[in-house]
């Protein structure tokens, strides 16, 4: 592969995945207000608040570079009789810009790669940016998990047109690191992210693959975020628990604003 010293600047994404929290609308409004104020005036970071559907309207605010919002899932269907589903167009009608797709907690409930790919295409068709979650369940010493990861990426992005690849975000979330107390290491995350970028180059052009923001998620908090953000190859973080604590989130955003994120083409072998 051609090596180039050229570096592309990219904003750092901090995705706040509230999951099925908080318990009440009152608390959701408080968290939404805090999140909006944390997103004010950010220079290098985009904070994306992703609440449960009933609270989506609470995070609505005018678009700025520092603050955006999105959903945690989307229906496979554009419209029709699908009780309990929420259509991509309904999410867009609140002027949301993002949607998390293929989170491991949804995959664990039976969501297949085929369904993930359909949701990615549905999101793109209405102009939503899909944050596509990929990650291995467990590690093996022979690194076979990388082959599983490659297969998952191919299948989860099946049918996405090469030019649309430039509109997606990838969140690398090793399943074993989510919701526990042990995050992956920043060095190992960089290795895997480089592998994911190489895999993306099998599906789209090198230029487009290099432009896709690559995030890490899994037990990130205010004590370890800076370690990940010190790596140029990691373009942001998808955060569960710590994103619901405004003090922790503020410290993570502060670390993000202090960094100078670039994609180093030279590091991709």
For residues 181 to 220, the per-residue mask of contacts with ligand PGA, x marking binding by CB under 6 A and - elsewhere, is ------------------------------------xxxx
Active site residue 257: no
CA 222, chain centre distance (Å): 18
CA distances from 174 to 32, 104, 177, 240, 261 (A): 28, 9, 6, 13, 22
Query: How far, in Å, CA of 56 to CA of 163, rounded?
Result: 29
**Contact (Cβ atoms closer than 8 angstroms) between residue 59 and residue 73:** no
- Return the residue nearest ligand PGA (CB atom): 240
Q: Least distance from C-beta 202 to ligand PGA, angstroms?
A: 25
Q: Restricting to residues 104-163, which ones interact with ligand PGA according to CB under 6 A?
A: none
Q: 202 catalytic, yes or no?
A: no
**Interface characters, 7-46, with ligand PGA (x: CB under 6 A):** ----------x-----------------------------
Question: How far apart are the C-alpha atoms of 205 and 200, rounded to whole Å?
Answer: 8
Provide the minimum distance between the beta carbon of 99 and ligand PGA in the complex, in angstroms, as a whole number.
14
Of 215, 221, 258, 249, nearest to 49 (Cα)? 249
The only residue of 28, 131, 238, 249 in contact with ligand PGA, by rule CB under 6 A: 238
Contact indicator for 238, 131 with CB cutoff of 8 Å? yes
Site size toward ligand PGA, by CB under 6 A: 12
User: Does residue 178 belong to the site contacting ligand PGA (CB under 6 A)?
Assistant: yes
> Which neighbouring-strand residues pair with 215?
171
List contacts with ligand PGA (CB under 6 A). Answer: 17, 173, 178-179, 217-220, 238-241
- Annotated catalytic residues are 103, 173
């Amino acid at each position: 592969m051609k090596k180039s010293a050229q570096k592309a600047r990219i904003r750092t994404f901090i995705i706040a995945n509230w999951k099925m929290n908080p318990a009440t609308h009152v608390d959701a409004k408080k968290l939404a207000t805090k999140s909006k104020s944390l997103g004010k005036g950010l220079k290098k970071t985009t904070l994306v608040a992703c609440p449960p559907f009933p609270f989506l309207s609470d995070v609505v605010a005018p678009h700025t570079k520092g603050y955006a919002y999105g959903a945690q899932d989307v229906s496979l269907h554009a419209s029709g009789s699908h009780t309990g589903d929420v259509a991509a167009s309904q999410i867009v009608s609140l002027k949301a810009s993002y949607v998390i797709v293929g989170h491991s907690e949804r995959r664990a409930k039976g969501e297949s790669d085929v369904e993930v790919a359909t949701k990615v295409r549905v999101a793109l068709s209405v102009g939503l940016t899909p944050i596509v979650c990929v990650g291995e369940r467990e590690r093996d010493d022979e690194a076979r998990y990388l082959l599983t990861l490659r297969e998952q990426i191919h299948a989860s992005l099946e049918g996405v047109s090469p030019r649309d690849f430039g509109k997606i975000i990838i969140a690398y979330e090793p399943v074993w690191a989510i919701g526990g107390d042990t995050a992956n290491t920043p060095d190992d995350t960089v290795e895997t992210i480089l592998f994911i970028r190489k895999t993306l180059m099998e599906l789209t052009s090198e230029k487009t693959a290099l432009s896709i923001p690559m995030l890490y998620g899994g037990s990130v908090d205010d004590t370890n975020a800076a370690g990940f953000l010190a790596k140029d190859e990691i373009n942001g973080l998808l955060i569960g628990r710590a994103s619901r604590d405004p003090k922790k989130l503020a410290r993570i955003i502060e670390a993000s604003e202090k960094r100078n994120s670039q994609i180093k083409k030279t590091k991709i072998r």
